[in-house]
Structure 1
């Protein structure tokens, strides 16, 4: 969003028009709304801003629920924004630590500040980008004096009087047209600055879940978070925000429920064992936190192969940290054999998963003969140890 669009949007007319246009879910609806508003004589900047917001509000419902109906967004800012259910859990950790005043540095569109202010904490929300800070101020306006929004750099923010910091380092461009966490050397503020701050005061640092683990400081709690099957972020907690005896944690949220696995260090894997009656796929947060061994012991399970993040067991046990599949047939990873099994079972719909084999699931699917009303999961992987390891296709069903 450029400055002209922002200026046109943040007017009584612009905000009223977003509500009048209503939700725009498809590209056809967007095109029709643009034509209609331009024909009515509205300026290109206003039309672009209004239609863009009407479309982004639909996309934002997955992260912000009904709150999206009155919020303003940029595309990249929405992609980066913390889901409200996750932000609420982060906010709860600050409150549990006795913290009442939090500086949110790199606040983006205000998603995390929304969670903090929503449970009664005072918040200072700061973003380096002028457009983003303006949108955050609008989104956080319902909280009145409890939230102060400023444009500025995290490194230049006066933190006197603030108990703790929530920090979201990332690569940023004007208007949040691009945001990335893939290259730490491009981040603002820098990772070194963030870690130095975490040594001085309680800090939560939001990072991408794939961050190189060699960069993790020794004196923080590293918490990986999965939501509905996707690993969404890594948060490093320092000072009073770090829990005693916890260095690694995996928070798994699915369907509104949440479960957490914690440990004082990476957990050793269980030994490889023969493929049993059940195959278990650990959640991404569990894999990233290297707590697969903890889950394996709870499930009385072993690894299917060394270095492969699948577990197997004979016991009919499940837990929230894995997706569990009942093994129906183990086949050689050869298309004719797989197709014969699919035909025999009348499988017309198949979910393909793979680990430890160089296979493109989309291309592999095109080789399959799918006819019938039954559905199944096809898991392509390796099983066994050392030279005895072999590639197999496991025909399974979800438990």
Structure 2
């Protein structure tokens, strides 16, 4: 959410930043609504003050025997009591209308974000490793996976399209990847491991910005709870409605959780295989940092995600997302795209973002800078470290062999109980 005071100070700059996302100007409309709300609030405050003054004056007039004045004051108080509930309702309604309007707006962009309209305009930053070479035609994971224990048919039979049933060593490799990522984040980089709820309330959905914009992409329960689409939703909200000291930062949390997405806005995309599922697992990194710490923390979590891919020996590139391809709650994002030889394409496997103060404002999560009496909002950053299912796909396609088997990267051997290769069923 945005601070209306900052919009008042520089409405042109606010509209200019939103325009980089393709958003129409809104500052004038917001300020008109804010002016109406403030006018009603002022009238209400004046009415409350006058009611208090008149109530006191009634007793004084009665004590002085001035019955006529006392009756006039009583009539004034009675009129104020009648009109004030209307003003209070008007004040509440305007406040809610302004809040809803601000909640619906995306985050402002960091000035360093490149301009662009779509992923085609994202800017190449760097890459690591080389594309693997094969003495045979590499296959897509969806073609080789069923013989290795990735059962699309059973998943669809039980749950519908975009659900998959993993068996045997394939299931073990999937579990190994998640454990490897968690151990990396906690043992090497000092993240606190969390095991959060998988269901959140609607207020938490607004807190991290999935609501109101992405309500159709979420799975809802009958009691209006939401199955998380990313553990960012729960880890981020763990800071809500709290006041921290500057010395508390940075705070780094990580979790491996199932995630659930209806993909209502992605009809027809990646319906084949294991790339875009309704249920998947992801290791998330969440960092709460002061504004001064945030740029370095953004680079740090991006480096951690890169390190995982390097340990797995997977070629990737890093892209800076342009203004037209940014998530609505983020101010700057790097995407890590892993090479999939079966598809002959790079595919996103991690997004690492600085959301600035956008989410903490929505959650009312603050800190008090050292030596200051005034509290401020901190930054929340998040990164995938990594998407487990997509990493499994990358391992399958990059380590595939001519006989249909898949070599398991050495970094995962400690988690596989002696299994070093996925063997196709005969």
TM bracket (short chain): under 0.3
Question: Which is bigger in relative contact order (C-alpha 8 A, separation at least 6)?
Answer: 2
Which protein is bigger by CA-based radius of gyration? 2
Which structure is higher in strand share?
1
Give the TM-score normalised by the residue count of structure 2: 0.25
Which structure is higher in helix share?
2
